[in-house]
Amino acid sequence: MRRLKWLIVVIVAGALLLAAAAFASGDIRWRLHLLGEKAGGKYPEATWGEFLRMLAPSSGIWLEDLSRWDTLYPIVTNPYRSSADRDAGKKLFAANCGTCHGADALGGGVGPSLKGRISPRTESDWSAFRTVRYGIAGTPMTGLALNWQDTWRLAGFVRSMVVAEDATQAAQVVAVSPVTSERLRNAQQTPQDWLTYGGDLTGSRYSALTQITPQNAQRLRVAWVSQPMTDYRRFEATPLVADGRMYVSYPPSNVVALDAATGKVLWTHSGSIPADMPGAGSYKVSRGVALLDDKVFLATLDCKIKALDAATGKVLWQHTVASYKDGYSFTSAPLAIDGMVVIGNAGGDYATRGFVVALDATDGKERWRFETIPKPGEPNADSWSGDSWKIGGAAAWQVGSYDAELKRVYWGIGNPAPDHFGEIRRGDNLYANTLVALDGATGKLVWHYQFTPHDLHDWDSTQVPVLALGGGRERILFANRNGFLYSIERATGKFEWAKAFVKQTWLESMSPEGRPTRRKEAVPSLEGTVIYPSVEGGTNWWPPAYDASRDVFYVPYMERASMYYLGQEEEPEQAKLYMLGSSKGVSGELFYTGIRAFRAADGELLWEQRNAQRDDIPETNGLVATGGGVVFGADLDRVFAVDAASGKEVWQFMSGGRISAAPMSYAVNGKQYVAITAQRVIMVFELPPE
């Protein structure tokens, strides 16, 4: 009875302490859930004292995903892993274990050498900790009465010995260096790496690698595949590669690190999403990660930014920047710039107010936040009628670009809410459907250009802004969902020109300043109105590619119409779709997707590649252009390559699963590879030896 009372006191005290500590970090719920599971008999491999210590936010051990694994062994990572900790662990070993195993753990006559001696008692950090603390029953090895930190230090040294052979082999294959801000700024000088979602900070999706050409592309074969364990069917991520190590995110909020030459798994980070998550969590996608210094940054569906150790996958910090309960989420890759990680929210089809936020890469503290809808008293607040600005959407759900010289962040902003019922939000609705230039240090608005004022068609302007330099002019190329290709002066935001790149029936005219006038009949109606392009757009999140050496812009496109319907006015509800209308394809209409190549100087069409017609699945995928004169793309379950000069298809591969991602290219040990995620598989291609 006394023991039961003591246990209740421990649980209550621990819950109160954890609640107080975790409240500030916004992670109280999962900690209390784990306490309940422990009280119910789970996790017997840890005492209550150990369990509470690991749950503490300052422990350096992250247990958020424990419920998914049901055991501590694959989850717990040693929080004391510095070189000083390893040196201290070696001294502790010599003092406490050296008599049997030798001071250097290479054997001492009584005990065996531990080098490379992996066993169930040392195969994970937690098993090694327990072996050090409790010993091995039935053997001369007894537990050691060390404090918490020294127990971990000693266990860490033991682990370094038992996995020494594997670690040495991995180090020979993958030599990882910090991805500094300077490396990111000069990414085009190291084409063997693919350091950002767009390949570089300009969003060009261009690789200077030249091994694969139109002449030999037909010889491409599968080099390796990897199938991360997930319950979700749709991968949308672009892998990143630095120094031969690949990092890929996959749903719901997971990351895997792989040897980029072989596909060997180096580490995984498993993230979960709350069971009660509404809103944009229904999309359940993750389009990639960001790299900076020694960290991998992941934006999660439940609005967290996580910094992972690039070497181990260990969570270094995490910060919650919005509430998923209000319909917010993150689905895109972050953008890492000058000591910060920048991300924009998803959830623009809900009664939300969008934002772009920058966090300090070192500790996760918020550096600045740009609200995509101005509030009363701020410039352009009068572009929203009444209080509609409070819940006007304008999400910034795709990744932006960065000009390292001007130190400006360029970001495309999404549609206003409600999507189709404009009477509620009269006005231009800035900064929805707008390209914004933000000061990289402060997040303050420098200039803006709005593509589609008072959008009624859900034509997000979240496409990747591509910073182009050709013909001596610095400009931004922007293939917009509304069906037009734009050229915008980079420094000032001045409109240069716009040309339709797909069929469109909504525009009547465009002023010299680039302000469009919509045809009066091109609006949603109760009976439905047929308008080109479709609600999915002439293009969408599918990223384009830009080859500066040719000054050619390659755009994935879709020729399709939608029937746009006007809904009834309704009061908005938290975390429920706020569209007040709908759209669907035109019955019986066949449509097609493909690639169109444009001269970047003036938007002249150079060539097009067209995929087969179909009547369903209105989507396609992004591109990568290469120095070998090949552009890679994908459509449905087909990966393909076309000649960059003519658009002629030179290779294809049937993936066996739906592709919803963009390809990229990298090199390891002088060999060029092309990678793409397909359904639940990461696929990598190579040229065979001559």
Cis peptide before 546 (omega within 30 of 0): no
405 half-sphere exposure, CB direction, 13 A CA radius: 6
CA distance 621 to 255: 21
Question: Please, are residues 626 and 665 in contact by the beta-carbon 8 Å criterion?
Answer: yes
**Helix or strand holding residue 467 (H, E):** strand 466-470
CB neighbours of 349 closer than 8 A, spacing ≥ 6?
280, 393, 415, 417, 419, 458, 577, 578, 579
Q: Between β-strands 624-626 and 206-207, what pairing exists: parallel, antiparallel or unpaired? A: parallel
CA distance 365 to 684: 37
DSSP β-bridge partners for residue 344: 356
Question: Please, are residues 166 and 173 in contact by the beta-carbon 8 Å criterion?
Answer: no
CA distance 349 to 347: 6
Cis peptide before 465 (omega within 30 of 0): no
CA distance 688 to 683: 16
DSSP β-bridge partners for residue 291: 296
- Candidates 289, 296, 255, 253; CA nearest to 274 is 253
Burial class from Cβ neighbours inside 10 Å (0-12, 13-18, 19+) for residue 656 reads: exposed
Question: Please, are residues 679 and 225 in contact by the beta-carbon 8 Å criterion?
Answer: no
Three-state DSSP class for 554? strand
Residue from 85, 458, 460, 547 carrying the catalytic annotation: 458
Whether residue 458 lies in the annotated active site: yes
The residues annotated with a catalytic role in the active site are 458
